[in-house]
Amino acid sequence: MYPTRTTTLLVLVILGLLLGGCANYYASRPDVDRRVQQWLAEDRYGLAIDTIQAMKPEHPQYRRMRETLPRIRARARAYAERVSKEALQLAQQHKWAEALSLYDEGLAHYPESRLLRNERDRFLRDREQWLAMLDRKWLQLQGEWLLKALPLQRRIVRTNPADDHQQERLKALEKLREETAAGLRKHGMAALEKGNFVLAGRLLGLANELKPDPATRIALSRIQTHGIRADSGQREDTEKRLRALRRQQARQYQGYFDEAFRREDWLEARAYLQELRRLMPDTRAVSERARKLQKAIDREVERLIELGERQYSQGEFEQALKTWEQARPLAPGHRRLAEDIARARRVLANLKKLEGRPPLVEFPVEPKASGSDDAGAAGPDASGDGAQ
């Protein structure tokens, strides 16, 4: 685990406080000049400068030591430049750990250096970019391998479904497929935001082969459209090609919509419908699908609301809340649904408060332990009737 920027700043602050305490101590000593020369020989410029600045005017060496400050600061700047250059060379050789250690050592010796702090921050950004590139390459290799391994593993399982070990291995590969597709999608979308359409197309295309989803498919369509427009300077039939591409994409999204509708995945169907409206505005095919989808969503929302009401009336408040929240993405502006969710949350919050309170009355009420004065009075023999 790498240190965060906040952790690093905290360490530097603590280090500065410690150095400040040392500086105040040595600033009053008669051998301050010898100490400063020793620190300069060890490149500990921060401690040397702080000690001189902490000296009092009545110190016998005050004036002479103050006169050395400009020269010491110049040496400190040269030291910071040398450390930055060496660390940069290490980073260019991909010796990241050595470079970071050098930056940290430099800042420990000269914490006031703005150059070292800025260069270290830049180094950390470069390292993160390098790590992201390595992660992207790893995911690409893993995705390409999964495209070959998964079909083979499925064949193994179909051949012998009773083999539990092969079944578990298939489950592990399916889980890895989803994780790899999600990672590729994340890198692909980042590349798309930066305008790197070639890399985005490669990453999103692989993610789509592993696990298709609306966001990936829509992004790939936009990349296709951009490719034709980017080629407009070399082709005269750009508009014709764009119209043909839109027709092709519209057919694809109609198929995607119908498939999602059959699976009753209303959110996915809605995403494809939005893209269809962009490609085929004011067409009968889109209007019919929109009406059909809205009718199905309204029916599903009402079903979930009623189910939640039954659960709520039976005291299953957590389950009712889950049911209503399941309907929320389908109808984000539904007033009754919002009120039901707020009501369930209030009840659950009140129940949680009550759980932490001591009971008002302890049940069952039992007589106090025998041996006390009150126990004799309250016992069954207190009236004397039982003593024979």
Domains and CATH numbers, the chain: 5-112 (no CATH), 134-300 (no CATH), 301-355 (1.25.40)
Which residue has better confidence, 74 or 26? 74
User: How many CB atoms are closer than 10 A to CB 198?
Assistant: 10
**CA angle 323–328–331, rounded 5-degree value:** 130
Q: Per-residue pLDDT for 7 more than 90?
A: no
The fraction of the chain above a pLDDT of 90, given in percent, is: 69
- Structural contact between residues 54 and 89, judged by C-beta atoms closer than 8 angstroms: no
- Structural contact between residues 106 and 116, judged by C-beta atoms closer than 8 angstroms: yes
What number is the average pLDDT over the span 263-288? 92
For residue 324, what are the contacts with CB-CB under 8 A and spacing of at least 6? 304, 305, 308, 337, 340, 341, 344
pLDDT score recorded for residue 387: 38
Q: Per-residue pLDDT for 141 more than 60?
A: yes
Among the listed ranges 3-12, 75-84, 98-107, 164-173, which one has the minimum average pLDDT value? 3-12
User: How many CB atoms are closer than 10 A to CB 183?
Assistant: 19
The fraction of the chain above a pLDDT of 70, given in percent, is: 85
pLDDT score recorded for residue 62: 87
The mean of the pLDDT values for the chain is: 86
3-class secondary structure, 78 = helix
Closest listed residue to residue 147, CA positions, set 68, 211, 87:
211
Q: Per-residue pLDDT for 376 more than 60?
A: no
Burial degree of 376 (CB within 10 A; 0-12, 13-18, 19+): exposed
Under the banding of pLDDT at 50, 70 and 90, the label for residue 21 is low
Tell me the one-letter amino acid at 43: D
Q: How far apart are CA 272 and CA 218, in angstroms?
A: 8
Q: Per-residue pLDDT for 154 more than 90?
A: yes
User: How many CB atoms are closer than 10 A to CB 4?
Assistant: 10
Q: Per-residue pLDDT for 373 more than 70?
A: no
39, 50, 81, 100, 201 from 45: Cα distances, Å:
7, 8, 13, 19, 51
What number is the average pLDDT over the span 271-284? 90
Residue with token string 């009550």 = 354
Q: How many CA atoms lie within 13 A of 23 on its CB side?
A: 19
For residue 246, what are the contacts with CB-CB under 8 A and spacing of at least 6? 225, 279
Q: Per-residue pLDDT for 161 more than 50?
A: yes
Tell me the one-letter amino acid at 187: H
pLDDT score recorded for residue 221: 92
pLDDT score recorded for residue 360: 57
Q: How far apart are CA 75 and CA 56, in angstroms?
A: 24
B/e letters for 126-144, b = 16+ CB within 10 Å, e = fewer, are ebeeeeeeeebeebbebbe
DSSP-assigned letters across all residues of 85-154: HHHHHHHHTT-HHHHHHHHHHHHHH-TT-HHHHHHHHHHHHHHHHHHHHHHHHHHHHHHHHHHHHHHHHH
pLDDT tens per residue across span 349-365:
998 888 776 665 555 55
Q: How far apart are CA 187 and CA 139, in angstroms?
A: 10
- What letter does residue 361 receive in the DSSP assignment? S
For residue 118, what are the contacts with CB-CB under 8 A and spacing of at least 6? none
pLDDT tens per residue across span 221-244:
999 888 887 776 666 678 888 888
pLDDT score recorded for residue 226: 87
Q: How far apart are CA 18 and CA 47, in angstroms?
A: 10
User: How many CB atoms are closer than 10 A to CB 94?
Assistant: 10
pLDDT score recorded for residue 344: 94
pLDDT score recorded for residue 149: 96
- Structural contact between residues 184 and 213, judged by C-beta atoms closer than 8 angstroms: no
What number is the average pLDDT over the span 50-71? 90
pLDDT score recorded for residue 9: 45
Q: How far apart are CA 63 and CA 57, in angstroms?
A: 8
**CA angle 375–376–381, rounded 5-degree value:** 125
| pTM summary value | 0.67
Q: Per-residue pLDDT for 10 more than 50?
A: no
Q: Assess whether the previous peptide bond of 364 is cis (omega < 30° from 0).
A: yes
